Amino acid sequence: MRWARKLEDAGVHVVYGLVGFKTHAKLSLVVREEFGAIRRYVHIGTGNYNPKTARMYEDFGLLSADAVLGDDINKLFNQLSGFAPQTSFSRLLVAPRTLRPGLIERIEREVTNHQAGKPAYIRIKLNSIMDEEFIEALYRASGAGVKIDLVVRGICALRAGIPGLSENITVRSVLGRFLEHSRIFHFAHGGNDELWIGSADLMHRNLDRRVEAMVNINQPDHKRMLIRALDHYLSDTSPAWIMREDGGWHHAVLGPDREPLTDFHAQVTDWYRLRE
């Protein structure tokens, strides 16, 4: 509140959000007039706008001038400021209204695709999963034969590898140099990979009592980057805590040759060094 008052004293219009909901979405919008037309620049991601945690957390973000996404985020800001009615979005899933049903619909679509003989799998990386509706949807998908891989840093109420319930689900937790903070959802979508990133974990507070936003990633190079990251997190060559059938955890740190496995964060650092 102290910073809000300072901003207001400086002439900034501060919006406190929707009553009863914490605004947890990570969004920025810049609107400019360029060559006689309005152009929007947006940023949406998984991480906080905090210079301290940005040095310690692992996150992903999207910076874009895409007109459709700009219109979506402009609508969402208008809703948060009270200047717009409820509306639909093209590239966003927004809690508390469309995020849970939108993700569950995509899980059910993977089941349909699997039954039709199309590519079908689900890969999710997030901080916590406790929402019963989502867990039950994953159990149903596993029972139908859909392969599901989860990377969960913290609380996980789902049990993996139980015959007749979750034998097609694996859960691993990655703890490394940086705090795992990103949320990534990857659906096979019949061979047309569909990827989302955003601010929400699968918990009641995120899905029911917060304003959260997930964005659909549609650029091929961006999708390849996220898929590559998930490949490394889920690879047997990366150290991780792996959930056993009894709910316990096995710490995999050595490869078949008894050599230490390569930490994912070290691999990411190498990627960017090579790019430079």
Cis amide linkage into residue 119, ω under 30° from 0: no
The dihedral sign for the CA sequence 176, 177, 180, 182: negative
If asked whether residues 114 and 36 sit together in one domain, one would say no
CATH of the domain at 15: 3.30.870.10
Which pLDDT score is estimated for 86? 73
Distance of CA 55 to the CA centre of its chain: 19
- Host domain of residue 82: 2-91
If asked whether residues 160 and 79 sit together in one domain, one would say no
Phi, psi of 14 (to 5 degrees): -100, 125
* Least confident interval from 59-68, 205-214, 226-235, 253-262: 253-262
Residues belonging to the active site: 24
Does the pLDDT at position 97 exceed 70? yes
What would the pLDDT profile of 23-37 be if each residue is shown by its tens digit? 999 999 999 999 999
Please provide the average confidence, as pLDDT, over all residues in the chain.
92
Furthest-apart CA atoms within the chain: distance in Å: 64
If asked whether residues 197 and 115 sit together in one domain, one would say yes
Q: Which two tokens stand for residue 107?
A: 């899980």
Which percentage of the chain shows pLDDT scores above 90?
76
Distance of CA 19 to the CA centre of its chain: 25
Q: Contact at 8 Å (CB) between 56 and 181?
A: no
Among candidate residues 91, 118, 148, the one where a domain is terminated: 91
Does the pLDDT at position 259 exceed 80? no
What would the pLDDT profile of 115-142 be if each residue is shown by its tens digit? 999 999 999 999 999 999 999 999 999 9
Q: E strands, 83-223, where?
A: 92-95, 121-126, 147-152, 169-173, 179-180, 183-187, 194-198, 210-217
If asked whether residues 57 and 116 sit together in one domain, one would say no
Which pLDDT score is estimated for 252? 85
Q: Contact at 8 Å (CB) between 194 and 168?
A: no
What would the pLDDT profile of 216-226 be if each residue is shown by its tens digit? 999 999 999 99
Which pLDDT score is estimated for 276? 59
Alpha helices in the chain (DSSP H): 2-9, 67-81, 99-115, 132-143, 204-208, 220-233, 264-275
Number of folded domains that form the chain: 2
Which pLDDT score is estimated for 275? 66
Give the C-alpha separation, 213 to 62, whole Å.
13
The DSSP code for 132 is H
What would the pLDDT profile of 146-204 be if each residue is shown by its tens digit? 999 999 999 999 999 999 999 999 999 998 888 999 999 999 999 999 999 999 999 99
If asked whether residues 207 and 85 sit together in one domain, one would say no
Does the pLDDT at position 60 exceed 70? yes
Does the pLDDT at position 231 exceed 90? yes
If asked whether residues 67 and 172 sit together in one domain, one would say no
If asked whether residues 51 and 119 sit together in one domain, one would say no
Does the pLDDT at position 3 exceed 70? yes
If asked whether residues 197 and 145 sit together in one domain, one would say yes
Rg (CA), the chain: 20
If asked whether residues 82 and 115 sit together in one domain, one would say no
